[in-house]
A and B are shown apart, each in its own frame.
Chain A
Amino acid sequence: MTNASNPQATLSAASREGRGRAISLPGAALISVAVIYVALFLFMPLLVVFTQALGRGWSAYFSTFKDPEVLAAVRLTLLTALIAVPLNLVFGICAAWAIAKFEFPGRSILITLIELPVAISPVISGLVFVLIFGLHGWFGPWLVKHGWSVIFAVPGIVLATIFITFPYVARELIPLMQAQGREEEEAAVLLGANGWQVFRRVTLPNIRWGLLYGVILCNARAMGEFGAVSVVSGHIRGMTMTLPLEIETLYNEYNHVAAFAAASLLTILALLTLGVKALVERAERRALESSLEGAFAARGEAA
């Protein structure tokens, strides 16, 4: 087999060359600027969070998590994510499917609307919910009559979080589904599969990595959201405080160790999310590579 007929060999030769290339002076300068920048603005805050949190030793650090208020905040944060993420998973898939695979009136408006929570300031999002469900809002009086409270209560926090995190799954899936087209699904329908079978056996496996990626980002944002939640929460300690709000309150009370300890928890969650995200990306790339290798192997055979 000649080298030309084996793109795999050519490809790996090319990447070997790229790796071995010497770094020029401007290149080195650029790289050091990037490294310094990252160290200053990304790594330093991380370091500060953990040094402050552990400033009075491990026992002080762990005592923060014995505080019932902090525990309540952790619970509420997890609860919110647990409700918001699955809902946005389902609706994100629905919206992406509708947009990517069908033509209907109002489609472009829907695409724009999905971007809305990313485009507007979270504080405004929170205020919108206050205006709708608040005491003097559209549904406020009706809710009061029926003894329900949304604003300054858990439902408001969940609603605001759902709103803020809605785009993550849908936005991840739309381009993926558009690129994949409808033919595989049509083929499945023609072979007699019903709607659920088409989704379960054809659509879902094709979007699984993109979906997981969207869910991870959605979850990260759901647990970290501050602005919108802050507006609707009312900061009732032990009841409507999520972890980010609790951190702010502790900090404002000069309880630095507790604030940074709580912050370190969120940071660990964020780092874990990034770790999982990297794993997902690697798995995705590996799946792609193996299919490419397969394609090369098949072509090599044909040659």
Chain B
Amino acid sequence: MSVTVQNVSKHFGRFTALDGVNLHVAGGELVALLGPSGSGKTTLLRIIAGLDQPDDARGAVRFEDQDISGRGAGERRVGFVFQHYALFRHMSVAENVAFGLRVRPRRERPSRADIRDRVRELLRLVQLEAMADRTPAQLSGGQRQRVALARALAVEPRVLLLDEPFGALDAQVRQELRQWLRRLHDQIKLTSLFVTHDQEEALELADRVVVMNAGRIEQDGTPDSVFHQPANEFVMNFLGRVNVFHGRIDGQRAVFGPIAISTPPTAEGASAAASAFVRPHEWDLSRRANGRPGFWATVQRVHAAGPIVRVRLAADSGDAVEAEIAHERWRFLGAIEGEVVFVSPRRVKVFVDGRPSEIFSAGANGHGETPVPADQLDLRRVSLDGALAAWRERHTA
């Protein structure tokens, strides 16, 4: 069952939750709505479910070709899983799962035996057969979430909607449940949308990621494409850690903090605000200037407890730099806090006015990325002597 959202806007008082959103989800797809809180992702989910209504008649929700905008939440046959489970607290697990079947009008209601079988089958699916007689309060968070899922699936929904399904769980349970949900989806192939503010979760779990911000969709694509080809600064910033250098492009030269780039002659006379982005894992650290473009920076803090070494550095321009390098590389470098090392980016992405820069992505590797050619990146006026002098000064004081 495909889901189409057309031109949906929603205001709460003066707050714009959704601003003319269009979205299409193909049948059987697992789609993540990813965005910071207040970006409108939960509102979009609630509008698809029928719990909220779009502001005006221009907005429409379709399941396949059927316009269901006028239908109430109870008639849409959607399965909805709430962030805080919303289990019926006075009912047992089995009663919770059976609820959707028991409230059906008598002529559509399955027999008691059928309901019992269906409940058992669903509890087996979510691996909670042994918990059938417990109340929700007697379950752990992850178990509750699975009951909520079984309850939603009991009515054989056409679409499954999950609002921050793992938001209230601790990290380990979240990881397990995430993989389990992916397997379940592959098994039942139900069109599913889930809301999350956790980019890792979205990238790992979903077939497609819809990045939202301030009531709009910023980008809509596969996890790979939104991560590697961010459509704008917001997506670049939101997906993964990143070093941002704000600057300007003036004629032939672009300066972003410690990074200076000669622009190709096509950008004649253009002057615009621009930002350069470097992911932490895309820095090279070395003892000596290695002939590649780069700058000198002081090691300020080293965090080595983890799969990768995180290093915070301060460039002489005053900009903070965050780098992630492999343990072996860090040992080889042998630097300690307070020492000065040479930092060079392997890859820089430049955005002009919030959009990926044509100038810098032209002729790149086709992914819209800007691997910086050595001749385009020149050293700012940072000399080895100057950096050493500064370092000595700090250490004799």
Cβ A291 vs Cβ B88 within 8 A:
no
Kindly state whether residue B392 has any CB partner on chain A within 8 Å: no
Write out, one digit per residue, whether chain A residues 155-191 have a CB within 8 A of any chain B CB (1) or not (0): 0000000000000000000000000000110111111
Cβ B51 vs Cβ A192 within 8 A:
no
How many B residues touch the partner, as a band?
Answer: 20 to 34
Write out, one digit per residue, whether chain B residues 35-66 have a CB within 8 A of any chain A CB (1) or not (0): 00000000000000111000000000000000
For residue B146, give the distance in angstroms from its CB to the closest CB of chain A: 13
Tell me which residues across on chain B come within 8 A of A197, comparing CB atoms: 103
Tell me which residues across on chain A come within 8 A of B49, comparing CB atoms: 190
Kindly state whether residue A298 has any CB partner on chain B within 8 Å: yes
Cβ A291 vs Cβ B73 within 8 A:
no
A302 to B50, CA, bound (A): 36
A184 to B138, CA, bound (A): 17
Cβ B138 vs Cβ A298 within 8 A:
yes
Tell me which residues across on chain B come within 8 A of A205, comparing CB atoms: 88, 90
The binding surface of chain B is classed by DSSP as loop
A204 to B81, CA, bound (A): 22
Known: A191-B151, A301-B140. Is A294-B135 also a contact (CB below 8 A)?
Answer: yes
Cβ B86 vs Cβ A298 within 8 A:
no
Tell me which residues across on chain B come within 8 A of A202, comparing CB atoms: 88
Cβ A183 vs Cβ B84 within 8 A:
yes
Residue of A nearest to B139 (CB): A298
Tell me which residues across on chain B come within 8 A of A194, comparing CB atoms: 74, 103
Tell me which residues across on chain A come within 8 A of B139, comparing CB atoms: 298
Residue of B nearest to A303 (CB): B140
Write out, one digit per residue, whether chain A residues 190-214 have a CB within 8 A of any chain B CB (1) or not (0): 1111100100011001100000000
A186 to B86, CA, bound (A): 9
Residue of B nearest to A193 (CB): B103
For residue B51, give the distance in angstroms from its CB to the closest CB of chain A: 6
Kindly state whether residue A282 has any CB partner on chain B within 8 Å: no
For residue B126, give the distance in angstroms from its CB to the closest CB of chain A: 16
Interface residues of B in 133-155 (CB under 8 A from A): 134-135, 137-140, 143, 151-152, 154-155
Known: A184-B86, A197-B103. Is A190-B138 also a contact (CB below 8 A)?
Answer: no
Tell me which residues across on chain B come within 8 A of A189, comparing CB atoms: 51, 72-74
Question: Which of B50, B86, B103, B143 has a CB less than 8 Å from the CB of A183?
Answer: B86
Kindly state whether residue B80 has any CB partner on chain A within 8 Å: yes
Binding site for A on B (CB under 8 A): 49-51, 72-80, 82, 84, 86-90, 99-100, 103-104, 134-135, 137-140, 143, 151-152, 154-155
**A–B complex contacts, Cβ < 8 Å, 25 sampled:** A183-B82, A183-B86, A184-B88, A187-B80, A187-B87, A188-B88, A188-B103, A190-B51, A190-B78, A190-B80, A191-B151, A191-B154, A191-B155, A193-B103, A194-B74, A194-B103, A197-B103, A201-B99, A205-B88, A206-B89, A291-B89, A294-B135, A295-B138, A298-B140, A302-B140
